[in-house]
Amino acid sequence: MSHHKHLDVIVAGIALTDIIGRPVDLKNLPKRGALKLIDSITLTTGGNVSNVGIDLAKLGFNVGAITRVGNDSLGRYVTQHYRTFGIDTEGVIIDARAQTSATIVNVDRTGERTFLHTRGCMKNFRSADVLSRLALLQKARMLAIGYLGLLPETEKDFGRLFRTLKEKTSLKILLDSAASPRVTPRALRSFLPYVDFFVPSYEEAMLMSGRSTPESIVEFLRRSGAPHVVGVKLGAQGCYLSDGHRAAYVKAQKVRRVVDATGAGDAFVAGFIAGTLKGMDVFESARVANAVAASCVSAVGASTAIRELQNYF
């Protein structure tokens, strides 16, 4: 079973398979019933559990996963892929009732992506999936969970889930968001007090807060009860972060050529966790996060270009 005496990080939430086609010109699709050639079709894993988990494993950390996959060839591909990177799969639940969650990713010539998605067994993911793995969670220092916005069945339970984790483990909790989360201020107030790190993307943060500047977004998150590190990912502009004492913009690292933006936000999270686990402060960790995200977009696939941690200092 579990082969790690200790785990640095457990990544919980969404695991899926990505079928990436490129380049796909959605304005110029083949005529109905016809065929068109493209350069490449790649099967890979996606979702925060896969992307953050594999990135952290490649950065040199011991990682465990808590998620659901179907009892199908895609699910077997996911668990095998995790094991290839040394990720502990004890917390991966095989769900015989639904297929593995999957996405068809159409990447155009500029690297922009358009998605066709089936939730599959992620519809069955619940906070009990996490809480039933307490023994595993007690071995780790950090829990990265995602995504707020894509786990509607679990999100309404986030307050109770995070509070229980804080009572029963010494975990630091990082929550990540995706896909235009529709979160009420009341819901935010129910779980943000237990979250140690919350750095949504600018678009997601704007939707959640109704504010448009990073400063006012951070102020809104503070007022919603976030006690520790909050901020906003700003893509090519880097990020804006507050640790409760000071707030600062941390510049992005220059990228010569963006090949594929898949997984950039997850790479940021992995880099940020890596810096934090190495004892860096929030702003140092954000520099590492920006550097890992910059290398992520330089190759096709969410984790292809990620290297050992010392490359990012």
Catalytic residue set: 266
Residue carrying the six token digits 């936000």: 265
For the sheet containing 229-233, what is the strand order? 88-95, 63-70, 9-13, 142-148, 172-177, 197-198, 229-233, 239-242, 247-250
User: Which ranges constitute the DSSP H helices of the chain?
Assistant: 47-58, 73-84, 127-131, 134-137, 152-155, 158-168, 185-191, 202-209, 214-223, 264-277, 282-296
Residue type, 226: A
The Cα–Cα gap between 111 and 262 comes to 9
The Cα–Cα gap between 290 and 131 comes to 32
Tokens of 233: 């990912």
CA dihedral over 90, 7, 175, 165, signed as positive or negative = positive
Question: In Å, how far are 3, 27, 145, 220, 311 from 9, measured between CA atoms?
Answer: 14, 42, 10, 28, 20
Tokens of 298: 């330089």
Residue carrying the six token digits 């201020």: 185
Are β-strands 239-242 and 229-233 bridged in parallel, bridged antiparallel, or unpaired?
A: antiparallel
The helix/strand/coil state of 184 is coil
